[in-house]
Copies of this chain bind each other. A is one copy, B any other.
Amino acid sequence: MAKATIADIAREAGVSVTTVSRFINGNFSKMRPETRQRIEQTVARLDYRPSASARRMRQQRTHVVGVIVGDISNVFSSLLFKGIYTQLQPAGYDVMLMNSNNSVDEERDEISRLLSQEVDGLIIQPNCKRFSAYSPIVSASIPLVMVDREPDDQPGDIAKVTVDNHGSCRTLAGLLAERGYENVVALSNIRSEISAQMPRLEGLRRGCDEHGMLMIPIEANGHDVAWLTQELRALTGRLAGRTALVSLMGPMLFDTLAALRELGLRFPEDVGVVSFDDWRWSQYVRQGIHLLEQDPQRMGQEAAANLLEQMNADADPYALAKQTTLSVAEIPAPSI
């Protein structure tokens, strides 16, 4: 049988479509209980479900939010989504999830699709250096929250949720100096135009400068373990004094451990090891690895909460935009 419509219910229940519409929208204030009951039964009998298509057409709002993450296979993104979802679903919003694959081109296409979908709001882990890539969103006055990364020239009235990448790495440098390290090797793997690893690199550099340590960046960007092994081999031969390896993103730690195994280097004896975002599995690797940890689920919740405020605004949503910086937790372990 074809999908029942509001007209079917009206006919079967012997009332008008208006009354059925009122029923569907829980507007019982002025409705005789018996009418209400009659409609209720008919709805149940025909298994009627309001058409979201017609609804969003008629109303302003779609009750759909778009989310674009950089790489859903990275645990960061899944936890981010989980935080977003647990906020939005109870609030009556459905979520369209897109994976930009850390690609500027894919992201552009996905934004366009979501605008076509007329989403009520957008949460993006952005790939673009220039905010102009996102101006179509602002032109359409669509509530927007940026997460994790930030375009260089992002206006002050655009919401964002980030963590203290710079500060936490600067602090880490201090700790490493205290422990007697003289060299810090920063291992990054940046695939997108912008990355949270950038402020981490800067923070580390700043901290190393402050403590007279040598800071050596290794940008693995797309290279494999063999390449990394090679780089580390060349490096460690040349360095005097104790060296700490800092993995600036979760998945990078995998490659780092693989390279160390290959080189026969042990930690903390031969080198120190620190990592961002390993999601706690590394606690079982030897005696555990010293971690800098963010809370992506919390980030998602914050982002969604602010998005909801913007979406509930009567006037300019961006007036309610909030910029949130969460702290990074330090989980000590004897790997340094």
Residues of B contacting A81 with CB < 8 Å? 72, 97, 99
A145 to B116, CA, bound (A): 27
Q: Is the CB of A97 within 8 A of B99?
A: no
* Cβ–Cβ contact B3 & A140, under 8 A: yes
> Chain B contacts of A254 at CB under 8 A?
280-281
The answer to whether B57 and A116 have CB atoms under 8 Å apart is: no
Bound Cα distance from A195 to B64, whole angstroms:
30
Query: How close is A199's CB to chain B, nearest CB, in angstroms?
Result: 25
Instruction: Output the residue of A62, A97, A115 with the most chain B CB within 10 A.
Output: A97
Within 8 Å of chain B (Cβ to Cβ): is A327? Answer: no
The answer, yes or no, to whether A29 is at the interface (CB within 8 Å) is no
At the interface, yes or no: A240 with Cβ under 8 Å from chain B? no
Scan residues 78-100 of chain A and give those whose CB is less than 8 A from a CB of chain B.
Answer: 78-79, 81-82, 85-86, 89, 94-99
The answer, among B50, B82, B95, B118, for a CB contact under 8 Å with A96, is B95
A102–B99 Cα distance when bound, in Å, is 23
Interface string of A69-80 (1 = CB under 8 A from B): 000110101110
Assuming the A-B contacts A73-B82, A117-B52, are A96 and B96 also in contact, with contact meaning beta carbons closer than 8 angstroms in the complex? yes
Kindly list chain B residues whose C-beta atoms are within 8 Å of the C-beta of A108. none
Q: Name the interface size band of chain A.
A: 35 or more
Most chain-B Cβ atoms within 10 A of its Cβ — which of A86, A99, A112?
A99
> Taking each of A73, A78, A99, A282, which has the highest tally of chain B beta carbons within 10 Å of its own beta carbon?
A78
What residues on B are CB-neighbors of A96 within 8 Å? 64, 94-97
A332 within 8 A of B: no
Query: Taking the full assembly, how many copies of this chain does it contain?
Result: 2
A288–B68 Cα distance when bound, in Å, is 35
Find residues 88-137 in chain A having any chain B CB closer than 8 Å to their own CB.
89, 94-99, 112-118, 136
A62 neighbours in B (Cβ, 8 Å):
53
* A-side interface mostly: helix
| B98 adjacent to A89 (CB under 8 Å) | yes
Decide if A51 is an interface residue (CB 8 Å cutoff).
Answer: yes
In the bound complex, how far is the Cα of B100 from the Cα of A89, in angstroms?
A: 11
Bound-complex Cα distance A303 to B118 (A): 28
Q: Does A22 contact B (CB under 8 A)?
A: no
- Report the nearest B residue to A278, measured CB to CB: B281
For the complex formed, measure the closest distance between the CB of A298 and the CB atoms of chain B, giving whole angstroms.
13
Would you call A234 an interface residue if the criterion is a C-beta within 8 Å of the partner chain's C-beta atoms?
Answer: no
**Apart from the given pairs A89-B99, A281-B282, 13 other A-B contacts in the complex at a CB distance below 8 Å:** A50-B116, A52-B117, A53-B57, A73-B78, A73-B297, A75-B75, A78-B78, A85-B98, A89-B98, A95-B97, A96-B96, A254-B280, A254-B281
Q: Which residues of A contact B (CB under 8 A)?
A: 3, 47, 49-54, 56-57, 62, 64, 72-73, 75, 77-79, 81-82, 85-86, 89, 94-99, 112-118, 136, 139-140, 254, 257, 261, 280-282, 284-285, 297
7 contacts across the A-B interface (CB closer than 8 A): A50-B116, A53-B53, A53-B56, A73-B78, A85-B98, A94-B114, A281-B281
